[in-house]
Chain A
Amino acid sequence: MKCGVVVFPGSNCDHDVYHVWKHVLQQEATFLWHQDETVKDCELVVLPGGFAYGDYLRAGALAALSPVMAAVKRHAAAGGLVLGICNGFQVLLEAGLLPGAMRRNASQRFVCSDVWLRVERDDLPFTRGLRAGQLLRMPVAHAEGNYEDSPQRLDALEAARLVAFRYTSPAGELDPAWNPNGAARAIAGICNPEGNVLGLMPHPERCAEEILGSTDGLAIFASALDSLRTARTPRTTPAARAARPERAGAEADAGADLEAKAQVASR
């Protein structure tokens, strides 16, 4: 199964994702250049961590406008798997593939640390090898991972069960002391209603080998591989479609997203 790792100028976890897919899972991997106009024939596209375009303007804002993102959007719309990690998650938000926005960490500092994550969805192509409620230990490393959206939209996100991972204590409880960035509702990762696009701040590629102290992250890549093997296109269940939050049309929504982001960024 072929994975394309997007390389924006400033991506710096591209090699790490490539390594996991190619050398740990022994699958075909390739890099997609930010100016590419297709995702070639990749079945999984990963937007890796880093500082795409230096995070100038806002994290992910410029990357979202690059030619490859148009191709990634088409891939996602056709049901293809898209995974955004850290900066890649920020790009997905800016590109409108996932709702919400990122603020600076509540501490106003970059934070690099291991965190505990509670799996909220085990029925996604990326989480089918996990159990809901299961705890994972994973590294985070970011300055802007404080997920935010309006209360109404957060409620809609929750109602649609689009939260995939939350930060918790080692006992699996919600606890502000164990939320590394102040994210609303301890959100560490979310998916789209169809479940084929996932964004998360923690770095599963950094904990996918025993020698690095944990293999908790490997399950996410292994789940994606498993999904691709079982069906070349991921399932879109009627339930997932029904759970889609109300939308007044894709165009208007994209406009609202941009506006919400501008507000968040100006705070």
Chain B
Amino acid sequence: MTGIESATGAEPPVTEEAARAQGLTAEELERLRKMLGRDPNHTELGITAALWSEHCSYKSSKAYLKEFPTSGPHVLQGPGENAGVVDVGHGWVAVFKMESHNHPSFIEPYQGAATGVGGILRDIFTMGARPIACLDALRFGEIDAPRMRFLIDGVVRGIGGYGNCVGVPTVGGETGFHRCYNGNILVNAFALGIARRDRIFKARASGTGNPILYAGSRTGRDGIHGATMASESFDAESEAKRPTVQVGDPFTEKVLLEACLEAMRGGAIVAIQDMGAAGLTSSTFEMAGRGGTGMVLDLDRVPLREPGLTPYEMMLSESQERMVVVARRGQEEEVARTFRRWGLEVATIGEVTATGRAELRWRGERVADLPIRPLTEEAPVYRRPAAPPADLAARQAPPAVPQPEGQGGVLGALERLLGTPELGSKDWIWHQYDYSVRTGTVVGPGADAAVLRLKGTAAGLALKSDVNPVYCALDPRTGGAQAVAEAMRNLACVGAEPVGLTDCLNFGNPENPEVAWQFREAVWGMAAACRALAVPVVSGNVSFYNETEGRSIHPTPTVAMVGVIPSLADLPAAHFVAGGDRIVLLGRDRGEHGGSAYLRLLHDIEQGRPPAVDLDAELRLARLLRRLVGRGLLATAHDLAEGGFAVALAEACFGRGMGATVDLQGAGLTGADLFSETQARALVACRPEAAAEVLREAEEAGVPAVEIGAAGGEVLEMRTGGEVLRAPVEALRERWATALPRALGL
């Protein structure tokens, strides 16, 4: 191979050290040399390092992700595209994905979180779908940890600042706090869009001679090495990586969204992809890789924010709000006109070839010439050595469970739990997000699952994200399964049948055998649950290297599940709505406390086996809930999760400030077991005349059910263990509602 010029006179030489600085190992550099039959130049090295970064190549996770079931009757597109696509009926498809923006958000929280939202939205409208909802799963450290208030405030403002402006409602999510995130917070952004079934676009470059268009913001020097940075651990130098964080412009995103959807209606677009991590590099290489084609790019035509960018910088910039479009030859002007109408810059920067190679030209020289498929589809794959942590047995040893005596006993424990930022209300966060724009939000943040209507039909979509990192730390396999099961249970509470899920697998350094083991176990647990519950995984993201100075985060495989509700006519609330409604507890407690909120938040014990996940029981419960909701029998349905029965009951009282009187002798719940976190349980309430039917349905479904009392009044009253405990709902609600602002010192 000849004629590959050094892009600038003073390019750094390509050495093992230079490769390592960009995240490539010596073996990977050798692999590249063999592939090329020569030494790569600086630009080629940078492109390869980005494509083979963990973030872009999934090299440490790919082998395990094959465990996931990815097809099903509703699936139109599984993993491998910008987002997954499932059929939701009435001629509509839902397009959704979740992605992490952990590293940038820890360095620069506002822009990191904002561009996380921007990136996931582009993944959705790139497929031809109009984004209609976002969820955000956030994990912060202890509020008193250094920088943590700044991080929380910045992340929340960043999510709001971006999503609110684009006009996509943020309808839910979750927020957790744990010291394991003190040095590495997690920002997982999910977006869902809808499109007509026959109007989906893919990112497969095809058609030799078709022009490649660049549309959107100009390319600057921001975000260079973002993908590589996201594939490293944090250390004391991380602050110096601030320039690798991109800067978002939600206004440009909004016009880009409209312009793309409008241009797609015209029929002149062959393929389209956003420039996300590794910018122009990953977008062009992935499009050509999927299409089995090649491309020539003329870098002199790339719109630049400032003069003097080198090919290396252009190819690796992560400037936001940019798209690559392959147009039908001769129709590029039609596409360009639409983008210009929306005030966006557009330029033809190259064309599709049949060579299978990417050839970059700049200032009359060929500055890179790389084979595409070997770099994308055939990137290195590693099965990292895996080993359970040495102290696993100690971690899983059954914990001593202190009874809630003293300090107000059960009610005191309940009040303290509700007053933690962990279990307290997250109103302070979600009131900063526009959750009602687009007039589709039927159930917004703060409930079991968010519900959106499908305009023009009686049906709706339900969305929920879940994971319990403490369970995952104690037993990643059970924790992975639990996240899937809980998401399904939350959907079932609004009568939704799951059609697919997306995930965001946040872990430490996969080169650490313990982390590799956690990852493998969690994926196995999730995969087993997905198979048993018949929920395909249609898209997802892996975020490794979430560790600071050698300390890993808890394994955090966030799951976001999407379901369909056939009719929104009789949707139950997550809270009590009418006095006199009979309350029924579904599922049976087994007194499981391993990893419970009660032990962790009140006694600082993080030990034991997490609650067992009985997938058959989950399936029976979910079917029962869907049937009860579908028959219009339920006024209230709320799942039991962290904090167990007592916390769930209190939460059900808060929505309308309505109390409840329950007798727990029949259910056998006393003392600490009121906070046990046994799975496959839910609280439901119904009109008195429907109670017998609810119990009959439960019996038929094989779900244990006990009628425990009635809603009404302003007091929460529990008869348990020979005592009658009474607490005014307003006093508990006040503790719960103010928990987060109080902890933040607001």
Contacts and interface: CB of A to CB of B under 8 A. Distances in A.
B436 A12 contact: no
Interface string A108-151: 01111100000000000000000000000001010100000000
Contacts of B623: none
A110 B160 contact: yes
B629 to A, nearest CB: 16
Contacts of B442: 211-213
A205 B439 contact: yes
Contact of A12 (B160, B437, B455): B437
A51 B439 contact: no
Interface in A172-222: 203, 205-206, 208-209, 211-213
Interface stretch (A13-21, A152-160, A234-242, A250-258): A13-21
Contact of A19 (B252, B430, B455): B455
B438 A110 contact: no
B435 A12 contact: no
Contacts of A53: 251
Contacts of A110: 157, 160-161, 164, 432-434
Given A111-B432, A211-B442, A16 B437 contact: yes
A145 to B, nearest CB: 13
B255 A10 contact: yes
B361 interface: no
Interface residues of A, number: 32
Contacts of B254: 9-10, 12, 51
B249 interface: yes
Interface centre among B164, B250, B434, B455 (most CB of A within 10 A): B434
Nearest to A14: B167
Interface in B22-56: none
Nearest to A34: B343
Contact of A9 (B161, B251, B430, B438): B251
A143 to B, nearest CB: 8
A49 B438 CA distance: 11
B431 A9 contact: no
Given A10-B165, A212-B442, A112 B435 contact: yes
A141 B251 contact: no
B732 interface: no
A15 B438 contact: yes
A100 interface: no
B435 A10 contact: no
A112 B431 contact: yes
Contacts of A113: 431
Interface string A1-35: 00000000110110110011001000000000000
A50 interface: yes
Q: What is the interface of chain A mostly: helix, strand, loop, or mixed? A: mixed
B167 A13 contact: yes
Contacts of A55: 165, 251
B64 interface: no
Interface string B152-190: 000001001100111100000000000000000000000
Nearest to A35: B341
Interface centre among B157, B251, B436, B441 (most CB of A within 10 A): B436
B249 A206 contact: no
Contacts of B343: 9
B453 interface: yes
A112 B165 contact: no
Contacts of A12: 165-167, 254, 437
B434 A141 contact: yes
Contacts of A109: 157, 432
Contacts of A9: 251, 254-255, 258, 342-343
Contacts of B438: 15-16
Interface residues of B, number: 31
B568 interface: yes
Interface in B303-351: 342-343
A92 to B, nearest CB: 20
Nearest to B453: A211
A141 B436 contact: yes
Nearest to A17: B439
Contact of B167 (A20, A50, A54, A211): A50
A88 B158 CA distance: 24
Given A111-B431, A111-B432, A211-B568, A13 B249 contact: no
Contact of B436 (A23, A51, A143, A203): A203
A206 B342 CA distance: 26
Contacts of A54: 165, 249-252
B433 A16 contact: no
Contacts of B439: 16, 19-20, 205-206, 208-209, 212
A212 B436 CA distance: 9
Nearest to B164: A110
A16 B439 CA distance: 6
A67 to B, nearest CB: 14
A56 B437 contact: no
A13 B258 CA distance: 13
A141 B165 contact: no
Nearest to A12: B167
Given A112-B434, A141-B437, A203-B436, A56 B251 contact: yes
Nearest to A49: B437
Contacts of A143: 164
Contacts of B252: 54
A112 B433 contact: yes
B432 A112 contact: yes
Contacts of B441: 212
Interface string A90-115: 00000000000000000001111100
A15 B160 CA distance: 20
A54 B437 CA distance: 16
A153 to B, nearest CB: 30
A10 B166 CA distance: 7
B434 A51 contact: no
Interface in A39-59: 49-51, 53-56
Nearest to A11: B167
Interface string A51-78: 1011110000000000000000000000
Contacts of A205: 439
Nearest to B460: A211
B426 to A, nearest CB: 13
Interface centre among B161, B167, B568 (most CB of A within 10 A): B167
Contacts of B157: 109-110
Contacts of B433: 110, 112
Interface in B406-449: 430-439, 441-442
B437 A13 contact: yes
A15 B161 CA distance: 21
Contact of A112 (B249, B255, B342, B436): B436
Contacts of B432: 109-112
Interface centre among A10, A139, A212 (most CB of B within 10 A): A10
Interface centre among A9, A112, A209 (most CB of B within 10 A): A112
A109 B167 CA distance: 17
Contacts of A112: 164, 430-436
Nearest to B259: A9
A15 B167 CA distance: 11
B405 to A, nearest CB: 39
A211 B455 CA distance: 11
A206 B442 CA distance: 11
A139 B433 CA distance: 12
Interface of A: 9-10, 12-13, 15-16, 19-20, 23, 49-51, 53-56, 109-113, 139, 141, 143, 203, 205-206, 208-209, 211-213
7 contacts: A23-B455, A51-B250, A51-B251, A112-B164, A112-B433, A141-B164, A141-B436
Please list the 5 inter-chain residue pairs (A to B) with the smallest Cβ-Cβ separation, ordered nearest first. A12-B167, A54-B251, A141-B434, A51-B165, A16-B439
Given A10-B251, A51-B167, A110-B157, 17 more contacts: A12-B165, A12-B437, A13-B167, A13-B437, A16-B439, A50-B167, A51-B254, A53-B251, A54-B250, A56-B251, A109-B157, A111-B431, A112-B434, A139-B436, A141-B436, A211-B453, A212-B442
